[in-house]
Structure 1
Amino acid sequence: MILLAAQGKTDKEIGTDLAIWRGTVARWRTRFIADGVTGIEGDETRPGRKPKISARKVKSIVTLTTQQRPDNATHWSTRSMAAVAGVSAASVRRIWQAHGLKPHRVESFKVSNDKHFVEKLEDIVGLYLDPPEHALVLCCDEKSQIQVLDRTQPGLPLKRGRCQTMTHDYKRHGVTTLFAAMNTLDGGVIGQCQTKHRHQEWLSFLRKIDRNTPKGKELHLIADNYATHKHPEVKAWLARHPRFHMHFTPASASWLNMVERFFRDLSENQLRRAVFRSVPELISTIEQYVDKHNRDPKPFIWTAKASDILVKVTRARSKLNKMQSV
């Protein structure tokens, strides 16, 4: 079109030669005059199809989803919302996706009411982001009441078109408790399974940590506020072993302890779908998992600053206070 126009032809003549509407020729010539070659390298963006659902309707669906509950359920489904809003379930799904809403999901959450939350938060995050020299930082905790569960009949194996199955009921053959200390530097784990989780077992685990760490290193242990960790006999033992330094997480803030991530991986990868017929079998499986983990450990990298966490916690606490005052 541009070359023909340069030869002096009119829009109508060019349209006839190229079998297109002369208005199209005029539009492309105008774009070339305005922007040069870049103006004709591709089509201009188009506004697209007008939405069938108005912005007001979308806003009402989002408001209903976030601020109200259906009459006969704890949360909305696409079908229940579609029935109330007068749109299709597929439209509700698209609106939820566009606004990042997932009513079918729920996550556990609790704001810590610890009076010393800020000090403890800064202390522990400081150990993660700027660990002391000539020292090890160990995240310690117990995974208690790990059940020895045997299914009442064998499950069907995985195959094409069918997932693996397991019975809903089970036989319980006992429990064990895993004490674990994860090195934040390299991700290595010191583990010990015991029948109970009293202060006696905690002391036994502290002695194992003492045996399995370099003698010249200071040890900074991060643990929760479980009474076992603060028993008088434990305090006396710690006083006799001054290289041990305890750092306690705030109440209801176990997410600050990175060993919880290791426990989650253990449960998901090894325990949740397994079948055990005795306590020794369960303990052997856990020990094998820890040994394999330690052959090629990967540390969990903490990146959040204490100040950023504090902003989120303050915002959450403010929101909760408003909800409770209503």
Structure 2
Amino acid sequence: MPVAPARPITLTASERKRLKTMAYGHKTEHRLRQRAQVVLHAARGRPNARIARESGLHLDTVRTWRGRFAEHRLPALSDRKRSGRPASFTPLQTAQVKALACQLPAESGTPLSRWSAPELAREVVGRAIAGAISASTVRRWLKQDALKPWQYRSWIFITDPAFRSRAERVLDLYARIWNGEALGADEYVISADEKTSIQARCRCHPALAPGQARAMRVNHTYGRGGALAYLAAYDVHHAKIFGRCEPRTGIAPFMALVDQVMTQEPYASAKRVFWVVDNGSSHRGKKAADRLTLAYPNAVLVHTPVHASWLNQVEIYFSVVQRKVVTPNDFTDLNEVADRLRAFEDRYNATAQPFQWKFTTSDLDDLLARLDRHTADHPEESSAAPAT
């Protein structure tokens, strides 16, 4: 039976360049490299039998790729689309599952606070969206649209009508500005607050030190030794902490902290000392400001906006205390808690540097603008009751 003659191959300059890249590139798939080499050999006028012998391919394989290139050029060297296994689910079912994940379970009467992949799979079957479906399939579909209904973040409305002006005053103080004027060398900014209910939990068995491939082990059961409050004042620009432990919070413990700071130099003879505080009950409102000024005429109380304690830098220090001193909690009594906190203050003050505060008034304006746009896009949320 006569054999069809080999198809002649003539390459353009761009085709030759692309084929050489495919044939000799380090990242080219092996099958594409072989096909490109077949075409390059064919372009040099070599017969199919010789190409098959030199490349180690079957003669029919060489003839196939030479013919495909002659008819459809470079795109023909890629694999043709294959039908594959029929899809188990329709696009409509996929969309219905994603839509279900975007609903709160309570909206459909399901007694869950949030969806998980297994619960969604069970709900899909219960609603007859699909006869059967696995949790891994649901998770894979949700991953395509970055949907994770099992995660959540809390949020809160801005309820303080003077939010921007109050926040701006605090941020200006961090930048050493007050009422548009730079602070002098004899003016200081103190950030103060209370960390409540630090418990003394005496573990029933001593903690085990970490070992090779083993984390530190802390016994789960403990005896309660009471709780105390830790009050701290942080010099924002000089990174110095003044702390004290009290049985509870209140006006008297807070004023004791003020006395502890304001009777020391350089604060006692300073021109002004600004105290940045949140709206806690021990230092809330104009009465607290008047009480502070009456006790120390050079002290100025500055409140953060309502629900904006994150603007108070001493909260960063409290987070350090929580990570490095309080957790894991293993103290025999409250005296040991107080001693540990005082010792940590000394250790911290020996090496502390001011926090690299980067949130400025420009960032504040950007934040408020984003909130305004969100409120405009979702007017139903702006009329909802404020979160508390």
The answer, yes or no, to whether TM exceeds 0.5 is: yes
Distance 1:17 1:186, change over 3 A: farther
State the distance in 1 between where 2:277 and 2:369 align: 23
What corresponds to 1:164 in structure 2?
Answer: 217
State the distance in 2 between where 1:209 and 1:274 align: 29
Q: Is contact 1:139–1:222 with CA below 8 Å preserved after alignment?
A: yes
The structure 1 residue matched to 2:308, chosen from 253, 264, 267, is: 253
State the distance in 2 between where 1:12 and 1:56 align: 52
Q: TM-score, normalised by structure 2?
A: 0.66
The structure 2 residue matched to 1:301, chosen from 336, 353, 357, is: 357
> Do residues 81 (structure 1) and 120 (structure 2) align?
yes
* Number of residues of Structure 1 aligned to a counterpart in Structure 2: 313
Distance 1:233 1:117, change over 3 A: closer
**Highest relative contact order (Cα 8 Å, sep 6+), 1 or 2?**
1
CA offset at residue 102 of structure 1?
3.8
What corresponds to 1:138 in structure 2?
Answer: 190
What corresponds to 1:262 in structure 2?
Answer: 317
Gaps of 5+ in 2: 1-36, 125-131
The DSSP-based 3-state class of the residue aligned with 1:143 is: strand
The structure 1 residue matched to 2:333, chosen from 278, 302, 308, is: 278
Q: TM-score, normalised by structure 1?
A: 0.76
Distance 1:95 1:239, change over 3 A: farther
What corresponds to 1:63 in structure 2?
Answer: 99
Per-residue CA deviation, residues 206-233 of structure 1 (Å, 9 max, x unaligned), is: 2323325454464332211123214747
Q: Is contact 1:14–1:22 with CA below 8 Å preserved after alignment?
A: no
CA offset at residue 319 of structure 1?
5.4
CA offset at residue 82 of structure 1?
1.8
State the distance in 2 between where 1:62 and 1:8 align: 57
Per-residue CA deviation, residues 282-319 of structure 1 (Å, 9 max, x unaligned), is: 01111222332223325142336111221344436955
Give the partner amino acid of 1:90.
S
| Aligned 1:106-255 pairs, distance under 5 A | 106-128=152-174, 131=177, 132-134=182-184, 135-154=187-206, 164-168=217-221, 170-185=222-237, 187-210=239-262, 211=264, 213=266, 215-216=269-270, 218-230=272-284, 232=287, 235-239=290-294, 241-255=296-310
Distance 1:221 1:233, change over 3 A: closer
Select the structure of larger CA radius of gyration. Answer: 2
**C-alpha RMSD of matched pairs (Å):** 3.9
The DSSP-based 3-state class of the residue aligned with 1:67 is: coil
What corresponds to 1:37 in structure 2?
Answer: none
Distance 1:206 1:152, change over 3 A: same
Per-residue CA deviation, residues 261-298 of structure 1 (Å, 9 max, x unaligned), is: 32223223321322112111001111222332223325
Per-residue CA deviation, residues 176-216 of structure 1 (Å, 9 max, x unaligned), is: 21112234436443322223322222122123233254544
Farther-moved stretch of structure 1 (173-182 vs 296-305): 296-305
The DSSP-based 3-state class of the residue aligned with 2:329 is: coil
Gaps of 5+ in 1: 35-39
Structure 1 vs Structure 2: percent identity of aligned residues?
Answer: 20
State the distance in 2 between where 1:251 and 1:158 align: 43
